[in-house]
Structure 1
Amino acid sequence: MDRVNALLRRLPVGAVYLAGVLPFVWTFGRGLTGGLGVDPVKALEQALGLYALQFLVAVLAVTPLRRHLGLNLLRFRRALGVLAFLYMALHLLVWVTLDLQFRWAEIGADLVKRPHIVVGMAAFLLALPLALTSNDAALRRLGGLAWRRLHRLTYVVLPLGAIHFVMLSKTWALEPLAYLAAAILLLVLRLNPRRAAA
């Protein structure tokens, strides 16, 4: 693991951002070439939401991986968090612009009658202050303790995203449940490492 960590220390953080936007480029390109099926807008929207959830899982996995396996990805955690929010924002943007085409009355009605949208919107709103403070200037302005307390909202955003995915599926499909199980496991490992290790 020391050799892997040494290699990771040489990897620039910018490479993580670059690799992180490739799923969007690939998926959007598939949409332009007809590779997203009969409903490309819905497929793009769902893919972006799934990428957001995957990056959220990656963010919360950083500490357990370091603690239990010795893999040190700490310097990439901020980039992973920013990418998670980017995909959340793109997921929301596609829903508002391409799916519902700025039909605000319909958007408002969906927020009232579709609980999974309310849960997803709550996750996005909680992630917004995290994205806005994911920089050194915000860390200095807030102070380390307040900044860390604020960023504990990640522990709420991930399970909300997983619940949103489960509710969206409308069935007990394996994939959404797997993400929910991963979210719960990561919270246990992150918040109560001694019990998880017992």
Structure 2
Amino acid sequence: MAPWYDRAGRLSLLKLLVFIGLFLPAIWLAGLALTQSLGARPLNTAIHFAGLWMVRFLLLTLAVTPARKLFRWAQLILVRRMLGVAAFAYGLLHLALYVVDQNLDLARVVSEIWLRIYLTIGFVALFGLMLLAITSTDGWVRRLGGKRWQGLHRIVYPVAVLGLIHFFMQSKLNIFDAALMSGFFLWLMGYRIWDRWGEIGSIPSLLMLGVLSALATAFAEYGWYAVATQVPAIKVLAANLGVAAGIRPAWWVLIVSLGVTALVALRRGLMKKAQPKTSPKLAMDRASS
């Protein structure tokens, strides 16, 4: 069955649009390559481009469950598999471009992955994504059974952590995108933890989650510079907590989380207005019946 059909064999506009959207970054990259717009080191730029989109699609996969619950959009579950497979596909492209950059010398590639810890971490993350992509089909769900399949697919969380660590390590000093993606990951994990142990759906709790995620992002970036570089980390923390140096990842995490909260509040307000009003007399009659 084509990926743009639902389980009943009907065309799903949502699946069709998402399926088309999955190819847009690759088309964008191809356009940059054809117009020689990838800079002085085109292969290196392409490698990082593919890796960034792998992380983005992985985070979008993790965002399906919170979005489905917060916006009461049950159909979103239909596109989670496609997003996860896309994350693996862009990760595979990331690796393939690296092999090309190494002049197709597979022995050297294996040696580099074995000797360089950040490449080892990235390869393990990609291997985990491969397992998730292969076992994402209905056939594998039946073979493994519901509980075992769910247990296997929980490795998506450590896979995401490994992918982000690889992102930080290969970014070196320019960790803006790595810190930003990590901030969104912290929000998504914070949502899951809060939702497991308490009520996260209220507007105040979403606001609190946004603030905590933004602060965690600022301190994560501070921690990276403190441990891994010679850059004065306290200055990085001061820049993160202010706006004089521009809008840092922590602020973007806060802005996006506030935007999500505003959309949730707006949707709930519209749904409340759309509900039919019941007259006081009719409500009393129903209560007494």
TM-score (norm 1): 0.86
How far is the alpha carbon of 1:185 from its aligned partner? 2.4
CA contact (8 A) 1:64 1:189 kept: yes
Q: Which has the larger radius of gyration?
A: 2
Alignment correspondent of 1:130: 132
Quickly say closer, same or farther: Cα 1:43–1:22, change in 2 above 3 A. same
The 1-side partners of 2:199 and 2:130 are apart by 30
1:156 to 158, 172, 186: 158
How far is the alpha carbon of 1:14 from its aligned partner? 3.6
| Structure 1: stretches of 5+ with no match in the other structure | 1-8
Alignment correspondent of 1:184: 186
Cα displacement string for residues 140-182 of structure 1 (whole angstroms, at most 9, x for unaligned residues): 1111111111111111111111111111111263221111122
Structure (1/2) with the larger helix percentage: 1
The 2-side partners of 1:107 and 1:165 are apart by 18
Quickly say closer, same or farther: Cα 1:77–1:155, change in 2 above 3 A. same
The 2-side partners of 1:132 and 1:155 are apart by 17
Alignment correspondent of 2:283: none
Alignment correspondent of 2:97: 94
How far is the alpha carbon of 1:19 from its aligned partner? 1.4
TM-score (norm 2): 0.61
Q: After the TM superposition, which of the residue ranges 183-192 and 24-33 deviates more from structure 2?
A: 183-192
How far is the alpha carbon of 1:43 from its aligned partner? 1.0
Does 2:50 align with 1:75? no
How far is the alpha carbon of 1:69 from its aligned partner? 3.7
The 2-side partners of 1:49 and 1:107 are apart by 17
The 1-side partners of 2:194 and 2:117 are apart by 30
Cα displacement string for residues 7-51 of structure 1 (whole angstroms, at most 9, x for unaligned residues): xx9524243222101110121121122011111111111100001
Cα displacement string for residues 114-136 of structure 1 (whole angstroms, at most 9, x for unaligned residues): 22111110101111111111111
The 1-side partners of 2:63 and 2:136 are apart by 18
Alignment correspondent of 1:5: none
The 1-side partners of 2:198 and 2:44 are apart by 41
Q: After the TM superposition, which of the residue ranges 170-179 and 146-155 deviates more from structure 2?
A: 170-179
Which structure carries more relative contact order (alpha carbon 8 Å, separation 6+)? Answer: 1
Give % identity. Answer: 34
2:53 partner letter: Y
Q: After the TM superposition, which of the residue ranges 142-151 and 100-109 deviates more from structure 2?
A: 100-109
| Structure 2: stretches of 5+ with no match in the other structure | 1-10, 206-289
CA-based RMSD of the aligned residues comes to 2.0
Alignment correspondent of 1:84: 87
1:54 partner letter: R
Matches within 5 A, 1:1-198: 10-72=12-74, 73-96=76-99, 98-171=100-173, 173-193=175-195, 194=197, 197=200
How many residues were matched structurally? 189
Q: After the TM superposition, which of the residue ranges 165-174 and 103-112 deviates more from structure 2?
A: 103-112
Alignment correspondent of 2:266: none
1:135 partner letter: T
Alignment correspondent of 1:6: none
The 1-side partners of 2:92 and 2:180 are apart by 23
The 2-side partners of 1:142 and 1:109 are apart by 35
The 2-side partners of 1:184 and 1:173 are apart by 16
